[in-house]
Protein backbone atom coordinates (compact mmCIF):
# COMPACT_ATOMS: atom_id res chain seq x y z
CA UNK A 1 0.00 0.00 0.00
CA UNK A 2 2.74 2.36 0.85
CA UNK A 3 4.74 3.74 -1.98
CA UNK A 4 7.55 5.69 -0.39
CA UNK A 5 9.04 7.01 -3.55
CA UNK A 6 7.42 8.14 -6.73
CA UNK A 7 9.68 6.62 -9.34
CA UNK A 8 8.44 8.65 -12.27
CA UNK A 9 9.61 11.89 -10.67
CA UNK A 10 10.88 14.26 -13.27
CA UNK A 11 10.98 11.60 -15.98
CA UNK A 12 9.34 12.67 -19.20
CA UNK A 13 7.24 15.64 -19.93
CA UNK A 14 4.25 16.50 -17.75
CA UNK A 15 2.00 17.20 -20.69
CA UNK A 16 2.92 13.98 -22.42
CA UNK A 17 1.88 11.95 -19.41
CA UNK A 18 -1.47 13.66 -19.08
CA UNK A 19 -2.25 13.30 -22.76
CA UNK A 20 -1.06 9.70 -22.68
CA UNK A 21 -3.30 8.83 -19.75
CA UNK A 22 -6.29 10.41 -21.45
CA UNK A 23 -5.65 8.65 -24.76
CA UNK A 24 -5.23 5.30 -23.09
CA UNK A 25 -8.45 5.84 -21.21
CA UNK A 26 -10.31 6.78 -24.36
CA UNK A 27 -9.09 3.62 -26.06
CA UNK A 28 -10.08 1.50 -23.11
CA UNK A 29 -13.44 3.09 -22.65
CA UNK A 30 -14.84 3.51 -26.12
CA UNK A 31 -12.94 0.93 -28.09
CA UNK A 32 -12.67 3.04 -31.21
CA UNK A 33 -12.73 6.70 -32.01
CA UNK A 34 -16.06 6.54 -33.77
CA UNK A 35 -18.44 9.48 -33.74
CA UNK A 36 -21.02 7.48 -31.80
CA UNK A 37 -18.52 6.44 -29.16
CA UNK A 38 -17.28 10.00 -28.91
CA UNK A 39 -20.74 11.46 -28.46
CA UNK A 40 -21.50 8.77 -25.89
CA UNK A 41 -18.32 9.70 -24.08
CA UNK A 42 -19.38 13.34 -24.18
CA UNK A 43 -22.84 12.56 -22.91
CA UNK A 44 -21.44 10.57 -20.00
CA UNK A 45 -18.84 13.23 -19.32
CA UNK A 46 -21.64 15.77 -19.12
CA UNK A 47 -23.61 13.53 -16.75
CA UNK A 48 -20.67 12.79 -14.53
CA UNK A 49 -19.05 16.17 -14.18
CA UNK A 50 -21.06 19.01 -15.68
CA UNK A 51 -24.71 18.35 -14.86
CA UNK A 52 -25.82 19.94 -11.55
CA UNK A 53 -22.23 21.14 -11.08
CA UNK A 54 -21.13 17.63 -10.12
CA UNK A 55 -17.51 18.56 -10.62
CA UNK A 56 -17.89 20.54 -7.39
CA UNK A 57 -18.10 17.21 -5.57
CA UNK A 58 -14.61 16.46 -6.87
CA UNK A 59 -13.42 19.96 -5.94
CA UNK A 60 -14.75 19.58 -2.40
CA UNK A 61 -13.18 16.12 -2.21
CA UNK A 62 -9.89 17.55 -3.40
CA UNK A 63 -10.02 20.24 -0.72
CA UNK A 64 -10.61 17.59 1.91
CA UNK A 65 -7.75 15.45 0.57
CA UNK A 66 -5.33 18.38 0.59
CA UNK A 67 -6.49 19.50 4.03
CA UNK A 68 -5.97 16.06 5.51
CA UNK A 69 -2.63 15.57 3.79
CA UNK A 70 -1.29 18.93 4.95
CA UNK A 71 -2.46 18.44 8.52
CA UNK A 72 -1.07 14.92 8.65
CA UNK A 73 2.28 16.05 7.26
CA UNK A 74 2.62 18.72 9.96
CA UNK A 75 1.85 16.19 12.70
CA UNK A 76 4.08 13.63 11.02
CA UNK A 77 7.08 15.98 10.86
CA UNK A 78 6.72 17.08 14.49
CA UNK A 79 6.27 13.53 15.81
CA UNK A 80 9.00 12.23 13.53
CA UNK A 81 11.47 14.89 14.63
CA UNK A 82 10.87 14.20 18.31
CA UNK A 83 11.15 10.44 17.86
CA UNK A 84 14.31 10.59 15.79
CA UNK A 85 16.06 12.98 18.20
CA UNK A 86 15.21 10.64 21.07
CA UNK A 87 16.62 7.66 19.25
CA UNK A 88 19.75 9.43 18.04
CA UNK A 89 20.40 11.04 21.42
CA UNK A 90 20.09 7.66 23.11
CA UNK A 91 22.59 6.20 20.71
CA UNK A 92 24.85 9.23 21.20
CA UNK A 93 25.21 8.60 24.90
CA UNK A 94 22.34 10.58 26.47
CA UNK A 95 20.79 8.34 29.12
CA UNK A 96 17.07 8.04 28.17
CA UNK A 97 16.39 4.28 27.99
CA UNK A 98 12.67 4.49 28.74
CA UNK A 99 11.98 7.21 26.18
CA UNK A 100 14.07 5.36 23.64
CA UNK A 101 12.17 2.14 24.21
CA UNK A 102 8.88 4.01 23.87
CA UNK A 103 10.00 5.59 20.61
CA UNK A 104 11.16 2.24 19.30
CA UNK A 105 7.88 0.58 20.19
CA UNK A 106 5.93 3.42 18.63
CA UNK A 107 7.81 3.11 15.37
CA UNK A 108 7.52 -0.68 15.34
CA UNK A 109 3.77 -0.70 16.00
CA UNK A 110 2.81 2.14 13.67
CA UNK A 111 4.98 0.87 10.84
CA UNK A 112 4.01 -2.72 11.43
CA UNK A 113 0.25 -2.26 11.01
CA UNK A 114 -1.63 -1.09 7.93
CA UNK A 115 -2.67 2.56 7.89
CA UNK A 116 -6.18 1.43 7.01
CA UNK A 117 -6.49 -0.67 10.17
CA UNK A 118 -5.07 2.18 12.25
CA UNK A 119 -7.58 4.57 10.76
CA UNK A 120 -10.49 2.29 11.62
CA UNK A 121 -9.19 1.78 15.16
CA UNK A 122 -8.80 5.53 15.68
CA UNK A 123 -12.28 6.24 14.45
CA UNK A 124 -14.29 3.35 15.83
CA UNK A 125 -12.39 2.40 18.97
CA UNK A 126 -10.34 5.26 20.37
CA UNK A 127 -12.57 8.12 19.30
CA UNK A 128 -15.74 6.04 19.43
CA UNK A 129 -17.60 8.52 21.59
CA UNK A 130 -16.24 11.71 20.00
CA UNK A 131 -19.20 12.50 17.81
CA UNK A 132 -19.09 16.26 17.51
CA UNK A 133 -15.46 16.09 16.46
CA UNK A 134 -15.05 16.52 12.71
CA UNK A 135 -14.02 13.11 11.36
CA UNK A 136 -11.38 14.83 9.26
CA UNK A 137 -9.45 15.69 12.43
CA UNK A 138 -9.47 12.05 13.46
CA UNK A 139 -8.13 11.15 10.03
CA UNK A 140 -5.44 13.83 10.27
CA UNK A 141 -4.37 12.44 13.63
CA UNK A 142 -4.36 8.85 12.36
CA UNK A 143 -2.46 9.64 9.18
CA UNK A 144 -0.14 12.08 10.98
CA UNK A 145 0.86 9.67 13.73
CA UNK A 146 1.33 6.93 11.17
CA UNK A 147 3.43 9.19 9.01
CA UNK A 148 5.44 10.24 12.07
CA UNK A 149 6.82 6.74 12.40
CA UNK A 150 8.09 6.84 8.84
CA UNK A 151 9.35 10.41 9.11
CA UNK A 152 11.27 9.43 12.26
CA UNK A 153 13.31 7.00 10.22
CA UNK A 154 13.86 9.62 7.51
CA UNK A 155 15.15 12.10 10.09
CA UNK A 156 17.28 9.49 11.79
CA UNK A 157 18.89 8.68 8.48
CA UNK A 158 19.44 12.38 7.88
CA UNK A 159 21.02 12.96 11.28
CA UNK A 160 23.19 9.87 11.06
CA UNK A 161 24.39 10.94 7.63
CA UNK A 162 26.10 13.96 9.22
CA UNK A 163 29.75 13.21 9.85
CA UNK A 164 30.48 12.27 13.47
CA UNK A 165 33.25 14.86 13.42
CA UNK A 166 30.64 17.64 13.38
CA UNK A 167 29.28 16.61 16.74
CA UNK A 168 32.76 16.05 18.17
CA UNK A 169 33.86 19.47 16.95
CA UNK A 170 30.80 21.16 18.38
CA UNK A 171 31.19 19.44 21.72
CA UNK A 172 34.89 20.25 21.89
CA UNK A 173 33.99 23.91 21.40
CA UNK A 174 32.03 23.68 24.61
CA UNK A 175 28.50 23.33 23.27
CA UNK A 176 26.18 21.02 25.18
CA UNK A 177 24.78 17.95 23.46
CA UNK A 178 21.43 19.71 23.05
CA UNK A 179 22.74 22.84 21.47
CA UNK A 180 25.19 20.94 19.26
CA UNK A 181 22.21 19.01 18.03
CA UNK A 182 20.06 22.08 17.57
CA UNK A 183 22.57 24.46 16.04
CA UNK A 184 25.01 22.22 14.25
CA UNK A 185 23.60 18.81 13.40
CA UNK A 186 19.88 19.40 12.77
CA UNK A 187 20.29 22.30 10.30
CA UNK A 188 22.57 20.17 8.17
CA UNK A 189 20.40 17.09 8.56
CA UNK A 190 17.26 19.01 7.63
CA UNK A 191 18.82 20.09 4.38
CA UNK A 192 19.39 16.44 3.53
CA UNK A 193 15.93 15.24 4.41
CA UNK A 194 13.69 17.99 3.03
CA UNK A 195 13.27 16.26 -0.36
CA UNK A 196 12.39 13.03 1.40
CA UNK A 197 9.84 14.86 3.53
CA UNK A 198 8.20 16.07 0.36
CA UNK A 199 8.11 12.50 -0.88
CA UNK A 200 6.42 11.57 2.37
CA UNK A 201 3.86 14.27 1.65
CA UNK A 202 3.28 12.74 -1.78
CA UNK A 203 2.90 9.26 -0.29
CA UNK A 204 0.41 10.62 2.23
CA UNK A 205 -1.56 12.35 -0.50
CA UNK A 206 -2.26 8.97 -2.05
CA UNK A 207 -2.73 7.24 1.27
CA UNK A 208 -5.57 9.52 2.34
CA UNK A 209 -7.66 7.83 -0.33
CA UNK A 210 -8.72 5.31 2.31
CA UNK A 211 -10.42 8.03 4.39
CA UNK A 212 -13.72 7.15 2.76
CA UNK A 213 -13.86 4.15 5.06
CA UNK A 214 -14.60 6.38 8.01
CA UNK A 215 -17.05 8.50 6.08
CA UNK A 216 -14.90 11.34 4.84
CA UNK A 217 -15.72 12.56 1.37
CA UNK A 218 -12.17 12.87 0.11
CA UNK A 219 -11.27 12.90 -3.58
CA UNK A 220 -11.61 9.15 -4.00
CA UNK A 221 -14.88 9.02 -2.14
CA UNK A 222 -16.16 11.98 -4.17
CA UNK A 223 -15.58 9.90 -7.28
CA UNK A 224 -17.51 7.04 -5.71
CA UNK A 225 -20.34 9.40 -4.79
CA UNK A 226 -20.57 10.48 -8.42
CA UNK A 227 -20.61 6.80 -9.39
CA UNK A 228 -23.56 6.24 -7.10
CA UNK A 229 -25.35 9.22 -8.64
CA UNK A 230 -24.81 8.43 -12.30
CA UNK A 231 -24.27 4.66 -12.03
CA UNK A 232 -21.36 5.19 -14.37
CA UNK A 233 -18.34 3.21 -13.40
CA UNK A 234 -15.22 4.20 -15.23
CA UNK A 235 -15.21 7.94 -15.87
CA UNK A 236 -15.36 9.22 -12.27
CA UNK A 237 -12.61 6.86 -11.16
CA UNK A 238 -10.34 7.68 -14.08
CA UNK A 239 -10.92 11.38 -13.49
CA UNK A 240 -9.96 10.92 -9.84
CA UNK A 241 -6.85 9.04 -10.89
CA UNK A 242 -5.87 11.81 -13.29
CA UNK A 243 -6.30 14.46 -10.58
CA UNK A 244 -4.08 12.48 -8.19
CA UNK A 245 -1.54 11.94 -10.95
CA UNK A 246 -1.36 15.61 -11.86
CA UNK A 247 -0.89 16.59 -8.21
CA UNK A 248 1.82 13.99 -7.68
CA UNK A 249 3.64 14.98 -10.86
CA UNK A 250 3.57 18.67 -10.00
CA UNK A 251 4.80 17.96 -6.47
CA UNK A 252 7.54 15.69 -7.79
CA UNK A 253 8.72 18.46 -10.06
CA UNK A 254 8.82 20.77 -7.06
CA UNK A 255 10.88 18.25 -5.09
CA UNK A 256 13.36 18.08 -7.94
CA UNK A 257 13.63 21.87 -8.01
CA UNK A 258 14.00 21.94 -4.25
CA UNK A 259 16.76 19.36 -4.37
CA UNK A 260 18.67 21.46 -6.87
CA UNK A 261 18.16 24.59 -4.82
CA UNK A 262 19.29 22.90 -1.60
CA UNK A 263 22.44 21.50 -3.15
CA UNK A 264 23.52 24.88 -4.52
CA UNK A 265 26.98 25.90 -3.47
CA UNK A 266 27.84 22.42 -2.35
CA UNK A 267 31.16 21.07 -3.35
CA UNK A 268 31.61 17.86 -5.26
Question: Residue 113 belongs to what H/E stretch?
Answer: none
Decide: is 220 part of the binding site for other proteins (CB under 8 A).
no
Q: How far is CA 142 from the centre of its chain?
A: 13
Contacts of 216 (CB under 8 A, 6+ apart): 64, 68, 135, 136, 139
**Applying CB under 8 A, does 229 fall inside the site for other proteins?**
yes
In this structure, what is the dihedral angle of CA atoms 54, 56, 62, 63, given to the nearest 10 degrees? -150
Among 123, 136, 235, 252, binds other proteins (CB under 8 A): 123
Listed ranges 74-82, 90-98, 144-152, 208-216: which one lies at the site for other proteins (CB under 8 A) = 208-216
> In the set 7, 35, 112, 131, which binds other proteins (CB under 8 A)?
131
Q: Is residue 10 involved in binding other proteins (CB under 8 A)? A: no
Question: Considering the complex, what minimum distance in angstroms separates the CB of residue 47 from other proteins?
Answer: 9
Size of the site for other proteins (CB under 8 A): 34
Per-residue contact flags (x/-) with other proteins for residues 19 to 48, judged by CB under 8 A: -x---x--xx--------------------
Which residue, 94 or 229, is less far from other proteins as judged by CB? 229
Looking at the chain, list the stretches that DSSP marks H as alpha helix, in order from N- to C-terminal side. Answer: 14-30, 35-45, 55-91, 97-112, 115-121, 135-160, 164-172, 177-180, 186-207, 219-230, 234-262
Selected from 35, 97, 125, 173, the binder of other proteins by CB under 8 A is: 125
- DSSP state, residue 228: H
In angstroms, the Cα distances linking 122 to 109, 113, 211 are 14, 13, 12
Distance CA 34, CA 91 (A): 67
Residue 4: other Cβ atoms inside 10 A:
11
If the CB atoms of residues 21 and 194 are measured against other proteins, the closer one turns out to be 21
* Binding segment toward other proteins, per CB under 8 A, in 93-101, 130-138, 163-171, 188-196: 130-138
Site string for other proteins, 234-263 (x = CB under 8 A): x-----------------------------
DSSP 181: I
| 3-class state of residue 127 by DSSP | coil
User: How far, rounded to the nearest angstrom, does the alpha carbon of residue 141 sit from its chain's CA centroid?
Assistant: 13
Question: 237 Cβ partners below 8 Å, 6+ apart?
Answer: 223, 227
Among 30, 118, 166, 230, binds other proteins (CB under 8 A): 230
CB of 203 to other proteins, least distance (A): 23
209 binds other proteins (CB under 8 A): no
Q: Smallest gap, in angstroms, from Cβ of residue 227 to other proteins?
A: 4
Binding site for other proteins (CB under 8 A): 12, 20, 24, 27-28, 52-54, 56-57, 60, 120, 123-125, 128-129, 131-132, 135, 212-215, 217, 224-225, 227-231, 233-234
Amino acid sequence: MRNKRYDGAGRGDLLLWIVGAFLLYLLWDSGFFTAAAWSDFNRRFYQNFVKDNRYMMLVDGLKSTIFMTSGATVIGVIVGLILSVIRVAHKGGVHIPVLNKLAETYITVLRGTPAMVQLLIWNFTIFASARDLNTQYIAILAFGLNSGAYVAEIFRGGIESIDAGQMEAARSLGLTYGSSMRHVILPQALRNVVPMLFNEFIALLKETSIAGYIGIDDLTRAGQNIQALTLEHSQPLVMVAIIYLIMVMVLSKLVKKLEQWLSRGRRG
